[in-house]
A and B are shown apart, each in its own frame.
Chain A
Amino acid sequence: MNFFSIIILSRFAISPLREFSIRANTNSWIIHPTKQFIFIALLCVVNSSLLAQTSLDSLQHLPEVVITERFSDREIRSTTPMQILSEKEIRNLNSLQVSDAVKHFSGVTVKDFGGIGGLKTVSVRSLGANHTAVNYNGITVTDVQTGQTDIGRFSLENVETLSLNSGHSDAIFQPARIFASASVLNIQTIAPTFKSNEKTNGKISLKGGSFGLINPSLYSNVKWNSKLSSSFSGEWMSAHSRYPYMLQYGAEGVDSSSVEKRENTDVENLRLETALFADFSEKTNANIRVYYYQSERGLPGATIYYNTQNFSKQRLWDKTFFTQGHLEHSFSPRWVMQANAKYNRGYLRYLDPTYLGASGEINDIFKQNETYGSLSVLFKAFEKLSFVASSDLSATIMRANRDNFATPTRFTSQSVVAAKWVSNHILATANILYTQTVESVKVGEAADNRQKFSPYISASVKPFNNIDLRFRIFYKNSFRLPTFNDLYYPIIGQRNLLPENADQFNIGITFATVIRDKLPLLKFSADTYRNNIKNKIIAFPAGNLHQWTMMNLGKVKINGVDVTAESAVELSKKIHLYLGTAYTFQQAIDITNSTAPNYKHQIAYTPRHSGSARAALEMPWLNAAYSLIWSGIRYSGNYNSKEFKLNGYTDHSLSVFKKINTRFGNMGLMVEGLNLLNKNYQIVRNYPMPGRSYRATISINF
């Protein structure tokens, strides 16, 4: 009956979007511009003085010493690897979805099932997607069902910065939940900024492209008075995504192949978002945000030999509503507090109308509700030393349209105490997080409650006064709780699962310099790390292999190196060239069972070598950008043989951008050519990526 278990697994994998031991990878490097070199952003002018205001980072509140006048560079100062992409840089990466841009970060593995609607999850440093938290404007996006977030659903249309922290950022004045994950991807949307006398501004744009892509969007900001402003952002996106691909029935160039077209890949999304910002005084500010997203998409399934036509009619509907608020108040120069709250409703419907069971279909509906609140206090004890205490509470319930579904509720309490020391030569942070969960169910038996302490420590040292050279180190212990699928999914769920434990050790070096006017920026970072995963939650065939269940079985040892370099070159007074590259080495080996043939084999979908490169040429009359993502070979299974080998790939994209001043405002025209070499590659086996395609954008800033 193994077949049925596999069906459960595949449904488990598809319907609630979950990852097993599969992991994909790509990664990269990123340019972070210095303020000095922020020139006119491509599609929208960002007033640099307002950047800080929109940032949730607490640098502005902390006794942080400005070490260099030339670089306002958090990446270089950070005690942990931190990568930031600004709005302008994102434009230069030829990206549509957040997942496209994230592929350019170093150390990152985006598991991409191909096409706009294909699931995309991000794993950092081989730890698995469940160890990556995604923060949307400072508050974590959660999915208790699968424990991971589809980052393909986030549009880049209104994103101001994307940043990725391995470990924890040096900003300690944050909700406790942000301390809980091994890595954090932050999505920060554009906050309203106004020129003097301006009451409204905004942008309207229309994107179109290959495979039926149509994507109109609008955002606008209104300044109601000196204290109150608001923003609205909305977009609709539709694509049929029926892209051609080459199906290989064996070795490329040796065995047969056929040209096929992806089927059942259509996607339609709607996003509406509005936010109200209040600056009550110098000491008090607050904002509140309402977000709604819905999508409907076809799930094409794997490209099965001899069965590509009419193979899948599966569909997925997804609706998310949340509202979140943030309030910050300084009682005195020493005492600051912030409060955050969120209410989230999620709806997921999965339909397979061709299922051969008695009812002729599978129609699953899953609903999640979450209520979350957080309170944080910052105490600046001395000039160089500050402390934070944060405490979060959340309650999440999941419902399903199945008979006898457990209907679990999880209460989570997280508390953290953190300290930070900043001097001319040393930056150090430490924290300890305490997590407690209480679970209850309506039907059956609830999972065990968990209590856990998770310590963290990091430091960077700048040995010389006049050289921007730093050595950094961090250790982080974190865990991910078993998801509701792991615990309560019919038949295979296991209620006694332990949390999956991750330990990270990192040592790195950063360096930045300026070589006269011609080379106004040269930046370099190198980090090496060792991660260990224990009690990895995997699906395991028990009961004579005919019954799969979730178990705490896996052990993975990861050694890696991330290297990034970037520079800005002034070709002439008006022509600038930005260059950058990143290289990642990952050895992520399965050490679960020393007698298994795959002992010490590289885990699935993790290339040993991968990287990215990019160049942006900025001229007064035209801007051009080139981006490259490459990966070495990977294996689609945890056993490394040629049968499981997936070839490496390169993906080259090129774009040109032209800004025209019209009487309606600044008009931007952009044309992008993606995967220009038309490489037929796969990140996940049997889920081909699109070949060469084009995209054009017209936008007007008003």
Chain B
Amino acid sequence: MKKIIFSLMAFTALFLASCSDVDNPIENNIPKEAKKLLILNEGGMGQNNSTLAQYDLESGVLDKNYFLTVNKRGLGDTGNDMLRYGSKIYVVMNVSSTIEIIDGKNGKSLKQIAMKTADGKSKQPRRVAAYGGKVYVTSFDDTVTRIDTLSLSIDGSATVGRDPEGICIKNNKIYVANSGGLDFETGNYDTTVSVVDIKSFKEEKKIEVGKNPVHIFADSQGDIYVATSAIWQGWTKVADASLKKINVSTEKVETIENIQPNKLTYVNDKAYIIIDDYSQSLITVYDCLNEKIAIQNFITDGTKIPTPYNISVDAFSGDVFLTETDYTNPGNVHCFDKNRKLKYSLKAVGINPTFVAFLN
């Protein structure tokens, strides 16, 4: 009998261990060589044409409609963010107002979570981050939603500032960039970053950072970086984009000179930034440890990408993926190696290609 109980316990322990092993990869977050790429295409608003493409790096086969092929249904409207966490892929669908949780191995949808407010409105989810077996999603209804990665269901919600966008997690705190972007017409943007305690899952304070903060990330030293977006009136730019560093202990906010980010990604203590400049496409790399610009112009081989849309970096290989769109034609995805030369391009991947995720 004891034996049976023991083996049951052992089995249970093994089961739990394997689960946590799969779903809490932060604890052993060592990048591996990517075998496949997943590319999220945002689609056009109201068009239901967001797609998830898969590119097999070994065979060179590109399945532009991977999610549809596997699941016999489209992803939905306006795929705004994608995160690989453990064995699963979390895709944030803004207009469909869903979170699609996908098995990384085979592309099958494990769960589709409807993101609705108590009174049935669309929450309009925006960005996603993960830590400790939980996935956190910002939504335009001024909340962060917590999703448990085992039960695949919502287990909490915290109120933050207006129209939160970017989210990052460091030292048991969740940092959220409150854009206030839905009030763009009156110019009444939010100016704060919310700090949410991960245990109580309640907003502790707001830090003033300036108008229209959108992107946010934390470096390994515990500094928080926030990017505010440019503010335009017609052809006139009334405020430049900016990159700012928040010293978390002093709450001091310091502007980093000469960087005006449009979009960015953070990998291995470096921020890869698409510079907000209509006249040229410039990718700048900022070293968060030395706290200075490491590379002014990432592309060295003269490749011209006139209208870059988003940037992703493979943490293992250092490959940089730059997506491109003109809003009319399906966009391309360009891969640059760590020597900053064009390695290959995937043509006409989907409408408004945005994030690239890496599968082993």
Residues in chain A within 8 A of chain B (CB atoms): 1, 3-4, 6-10, 249-250, 254-256, 301-307, 309-311, 354-359, 402-403, 490-494, 541-547, 549, 596-598, 636-639, 641, 643, 685-686
Contact = CB atoms under 8 A, between A and B. Distances in A.
Interface stretch (B28-36, B181-189, B245-253, B313-321): B181-189
A545 to B, nearest CB: 6
A403 B183 CA distance: 13
B307 A544 contact: yes
B121 A354 contact: yes
Interface string B329-341: 1100000000000
Given A357-B183, A403-B186, A249 B73 contact: yes
Most central of B95, B163, B308 by chain A CB within 10 Å: B95
Nearest to A550: B234
Interface string B40-78: 000011111101000000000000000010001111111
B112 interface: yes
B277 A544 contact: yes
Contacts of B122: 307, 310-311, 354
Given A255-B73, A549-B234, A6 B45 contact: yes
Given A356-B163, A541-B327, A306 B182 contact: no
A250 B276 contact: no
Interface of B is mostly: loop
A310 B121 contact: yes
Nearest to A357: B182
B185 A543 contact: no
B149 interface: no
B97 A249 contact: no
Contacts of B76: 304-307
A492 B348 CA distance: 28
Contacts of A543: 230, 232, 235, 237, 276, 278
B235 to A, nearest CB: 6
A478 B59 CA distance: 55
B96 interface: yes
Nearest to B332: A597
Contacts of B204: none
Interface of B: 44-49, 51, 68, 72-78, 80, 93-98, 112, 114, 116, 120-122, 124, 140-142, 162-163, 179-186, 188, 212, 214, 229-230, 232-235, 237, 262, 274, 276-278, 307-309, 325-330, 348, 351
Contact of B325 (A250, A301, A490, A545): A545
Nearest to B350: A643
B61 to A, nearest CB: 18
Contacts of A597: 329-330, 348
B77 A307 contact: yes
Nearest to A489: B234
A493 B234 contact: yes
A4 B235 CA distance: 16
Contact of B330 (A249, A306, A636, A639): A639
A9 B47 CA distance: 14
B232 A3 contact: no
A307 B97 contact: yes
Contacts of B325: 545
- For the complex of A and B, list the 7 residue pairs with the smallest distance between their C-beta atoms, beginning with the closest: A249-B73, A357-B182, A302-B46, A305-B76, A597-B329, A256-B73, A547-B232
Contact of A685 (B47, B116, B214): B47
A120 B237 CA distance: 36
Contacts of B179: 1
Most central of B72, B237, B325 by chain A CB within 10 Å: B72
Nearest to A543: B278
Contacts of B237: 543
A647 B165 CA distance: 37
Given A6-B45, A636-B47, A249 B182 contact: no
A256 B181 contact: no
Most central of B48, B72, B96, B233 by chain A CB within 10 Å: B48
B181 A304 contact: no
A224 B312 CA distance: 80
Contact of B235 (A403, A549, A596): A549
A247 to B, nearest CB: 9
B117 to A, nearest CB: 9
Given A256-B73, A305-B48, A1 B212 contact: yes
A494 B235 CA distance: 8
Given A304-B96, A597-B329, A358 B234 contact: no
B72 A255 contact: yes
Given A255-B72, A307-B96, A310-B120, 12 more contacts: A1-B179, A8-B185, A9-B45, A250-B68, A250-B73, A256-B72, A302-B47, A302-B77, A356-B124, A358-B162, A490-B185, A549-B235
Contacts of A256: 72-73
A546 B230 contact: yes
B229 A546 contact: yes
B278 A639 contact: no
B181 A3 contact: yes
A638 B124 CA distance: 28
A541 B262 CA distance: 14
B150 to A, nearest CB: 23
Contacts of A596: 326, 328-329
A634 B124 CA distance: 31
A354 B114 CA distance: 17
